[in-house]
């Protein structure tokens, strides 16, 4: 954060009235309303229905932290959702909802960030407790400060309304070590997160939840966070992964024992609801498709039988995208999530799931496409020489053939991928270089910013990390002319069409 950083406002939210409702009857009423909303076609008046935090409050387990870059999580919330910092001049802009209880104003971000890159510098807490997430500092596992997420790498729609998630590449992380109301010790709590179930890896650790306040590993049971990924060093579930598990520190747990839980399945939903909750000698994992259907319970029972987890020793910090000691080798995408005071009932969580389904998460139209990437100046196609799957081969242009080594997929998160002999590789700025002349190669996909590309209306394809254009060397037109990064000029050797 630079000298442009300002004091983060405290947002006041009138949730006290909801807590006075009769809890059992209120939960049933909210569940009925949420289920009815799940069948609707979607509209702009989201404020007419309760949000996830209204539902939790009705169940007697109010939100103590509520984070989302896609929508308001209370029906009456009208404050900022997140803040972006513009790379060109370090200016700041709060991005709010379109109205109370509404969807994010993505158009405001697009206008503010036009022609440059923006980073998500603050994810505001909507609960009124000031538990905002900002750039994570260094910790015992890795120095800092961590990277901030590029603001436009996870585009989605909610009932047709454009929004952006938080794209976490390895090295990216958010944290708040001085929170209010978050569970400590063995106090009960719940949490959920809506994630991209196709964006993960085996690095440690893509978490959202309760962590240490010191940025260090302080022992077993000092964390309680949702984990998503396919690491198998500690606990794991059935199939190849990824799995929803709990990071309880010094272990990712899928059940009562460290190690394998056959009832914790591999999940692959494009939009995933992941839940973890814990109380004295009781905890659970639940998950489901965020676009349809109900939740499944993957574990519910006593605390792990290893030492240090009963009772728990939670410290009350909040993390996103990293482990408690700032382990930051993971990747994933976060859209919304909350933490509660108290152990939510299954009935309350089922109502939250119905609300999420009714929100209508979907991929943004036009963000994914597959075909040849044809150069405007040469009329030739971006090509992987000899269809080689060897990492580090420099890309070139070649007469278009329609072959697999010229078939590129633009993914929703900004990658350009090619599949060669069953191996998916990403278009990559070699060595994370940013200088003119940096080779553009194919490399195993790793979520790095040097593998993310922004398509512009003028036909240029710009590397997110470098800000430089995908360029045919020397404006050449011959087969085999290499492709590189170069300062954007608007010339025809830097213009491309995909399809």
CA atoms within 13 A on the CB side of 20: 4
- Do residue 326 and residue 413 come from a single domain? no
- DSSP 8-class letter at 147: B
**Residue 210's pLDDT band (cuts 50, 70, 90):** very high
1 in helix, strand or coil? coil
- Do residue 339 and residue 480 come from a single domain? no
Per-residue pLDDT averaged across 143-149, rounded?
96
Residue-by-residue DSSP string for 471-493? EEGGG--STT-BEEEE-----GG
* C-alpha distances in Å from residue 392, one per residue of 176, 302, 441, 463: 38, 49, 5, 17
**Residue 34's pLDDT band (cuts 50, 70, 90):** very low
- Do residue 356 and residue 394 come from a single domain? no
Does residue 27 register a pLDDT over 60? no
> Of 363, 394, 419, which closes a domain?
363
- Do residue 357 and residue 390 come from a single domain? no
Active site includes 212?
no
**Residue 37's pLDDT band (cuts 50, 70, 90):** very low
Q: What's 229's domain CATH number?
A: 2.60.120.200
Per-residue pLDDT averaged across 367-376, rounded?
87
Residues whose CB falls within 8 Å of the CB of residue 48, separated by 6 or more in sequence, listed in order: 75, 101
What is the reported pLDDT for 413? 78
The catalytically annotated residue of 147, 249, 383, 413 is: 249
Domain assignment present for 449: yes
Does residue 62 register a pLDDT over 60? yes
Does residue 204 register a pLDDT over 60? yes
What is the reported pLDDT for 98? 96
- Do residue 380 and residue 350 come from a single domain? no
Per-residue pLDDT averaged across 30-56, rounded?
57
Q: How much is the pTM?
A: 0.76
- Do residue 357 and residue 394 come from a single domain? no
**Residue 48's pLDDT band (cuts 50, 70, 90):** low
Higher pLDDT, 243 or 26: 243
Does residue 338 register a pLDDT over 60? yes
- Do residue 334 and residue 378 come from a single domain? no
Mean pLDDT, rounded, of the chain? 90
**Residue 369's pLDDT band (cuts 50, 70, 90):** confident
- Do residue 113 and residue 243 come from a single domain? yes
User: Using CA of residue 420, residue 200, residue 106, residue 4, what is the dihedral sign?
Assistant: negative
Active site includes 325?
yes
- Do residue 351 and residue 426 come from a single domain? no
What is the reported pLDDT for 162? 96
Find the range with the poorest average confidence among 149-153, 181-185, 222-226, 340-344. 149-153
- Do residue 358 and residue 376 come from a single domain? no
Does residue 54 register a pLDDT over 50? yes
Find the range with the poorest average confidence among 190-194, 466-470, 483-487. 466-470
User: Using CA of residue 213, residue 67, residue 415, residue 90, what is the dihedral sign?
Assistant: negative
What is the reported pLDDT for 282? 98
* 104, β-bridge pairs: 97
Domain assignment present for 419: yes
- Do residue 293 and residue 334 come from a single domain? yes
**Residue 160's pLDDT band (cuts 50, 70, 90):** very high
> Of 363, 394, 413, which closes a domain?
363
Number of domains comprising the chain: 2
Helix (H) or strand (E) holding 190: strand 189-196
Residues whose CB falls within 8 Å of the CB of residue 340, separated by 6 or more in sequence, listed in order: 56, 61, 62, 63, 64, 189, 190, 191, 277
What is the reported pLDDT for 14? 37
Backbone angles phi, psi at 38, to 5 degrees: -65, -20
- Do residue 403 and residue 317 come from a single domain? no
The catalytically annotated residue of 54, 196, 325, 471 is: 325
- DSSP 8-class letter at 449: G
Does residue 9 register a pLDDT over 80? no
Per-residue pLDDT averaged across 354-364, rounded?
95
**Residue 11's pLDDT band (cuts 50, 70, 90):** very low
Q: What's 492's domain CATH number?
A: 2.80.10.50
- Using a pLDDT cut of 90, give the percent of the chain over it: 78
Host domain of residue 80: 16-363
Residues 83, 80: Cα–Cα separation, whole Å: 8
308 in helix, strand or coil? coil
> Of 363, 388, 414, which closes a domain?
363
463 in helix, strand or coil? strand
Residues 460, 5: Cα–Cα separation, whole Å: 32
CA angle (175, 178, 180) in 5-degree steps: 110
Mind spelling out the 3-state secondary structure of 149-172? CECCCCEEEECCEEEECEEECCCE
Does residue 18 register a pLDDT over 90? no
């Amino acid at each position: 954060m630079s000298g442009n950083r300002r004091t983060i406002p405290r947002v006041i939210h009138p949730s006290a009235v909801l807590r006075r409702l009769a809890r059992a009857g209120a939960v049933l009423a909210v569940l009925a309303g949420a289920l009815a909303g799940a069948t609707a076609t979607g509209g702009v008046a989201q404020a007419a229905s309760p949000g996830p935090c209204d539902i939790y409050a009705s169940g007697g387990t109010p939100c103590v932290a509520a984070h989302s870059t896609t929508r308001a999580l209370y029906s009456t919330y009208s404050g900022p959702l997140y803040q972006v910092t513009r790379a060109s001049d370090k200016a700041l802009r709060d991005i709010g909802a379109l109205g109370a209880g509404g969807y994010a104003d993505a158009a405001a971000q697009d206008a503010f960030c036009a022609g440059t890159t923006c980073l998500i510098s603050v994810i505001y807490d909507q609960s009124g407790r000031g538990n905002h997430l900002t750039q994570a500092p260094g910790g015992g596992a890795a120095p800092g400060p961590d990277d901030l997420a590029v603001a436009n790498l996870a585009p989605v729609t909610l009932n047709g309304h454009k929004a952006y998630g938080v794209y976490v590449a390895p090295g990216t992380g958010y944290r708040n070590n001085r929170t209010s109301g978050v569970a400590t010790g063995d106090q009960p709590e719940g949490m959920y997160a809506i994630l991209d179930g196709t964006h993960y890896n085996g690095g440690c650790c893509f978490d959202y939840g309760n962590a240490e306040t010191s940025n260090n590993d302080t022992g077993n049971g000092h964390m309680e966070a949702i984990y998503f990924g396919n690491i198998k060093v500690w606990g794991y579930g059935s199939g190849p992964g990824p799995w929803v598990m709990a990071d309880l520190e010094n272990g990712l747990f899928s059940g009562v024992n460290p190690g394998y839980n056959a009832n914790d399945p591999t999940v692959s939903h494009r939009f995933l609801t992941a839940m973890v909750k814990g109380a004295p000698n009781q905890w659970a994992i639940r998950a489901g498709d965020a676009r349809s259907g109900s939740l499944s319970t993957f574990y519910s029972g006593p605390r792990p039988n290893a030492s240090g987890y009963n009772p728990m020793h939670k410290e009350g910090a909040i993390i996103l995208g990293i482990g408690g000691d700032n382990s930051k080798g993971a990747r994933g995408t976060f859209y919304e999530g909350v933490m509660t005071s108290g152990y939510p009932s299954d009935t309350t969580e089922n109502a939250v799931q119905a609300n999420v389904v009714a929100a209508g998460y979907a991929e943004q139209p036009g963000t994914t496409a597959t075909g040849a990437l044809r150069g405007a100046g040469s009329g030739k196609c971006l090509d992987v020489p000899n269809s080689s799957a060897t990492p580090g081969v420099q890309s070139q242009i070649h007469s278009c053939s329609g072959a697999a080594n010229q078939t590129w997929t633009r993914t929703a998160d900004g990658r350009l991928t090619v599949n060669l002999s069953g191996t998916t590789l990403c278009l990559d700025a070699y060595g994370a270089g940013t200088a003119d002349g940096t080779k553009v190669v194919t490399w195993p996909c790793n979520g790095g910013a040097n593998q993310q590309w922004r398509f512009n209306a003028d036909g240029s394809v710009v590397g997110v990390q470098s800000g430089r254009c995908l360029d045919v060397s020397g404006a050449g037109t011959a087969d085999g002319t290499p492709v590189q990064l170069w300062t954007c000029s608007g010339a025809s050797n830097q213009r491309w069409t995909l399809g």
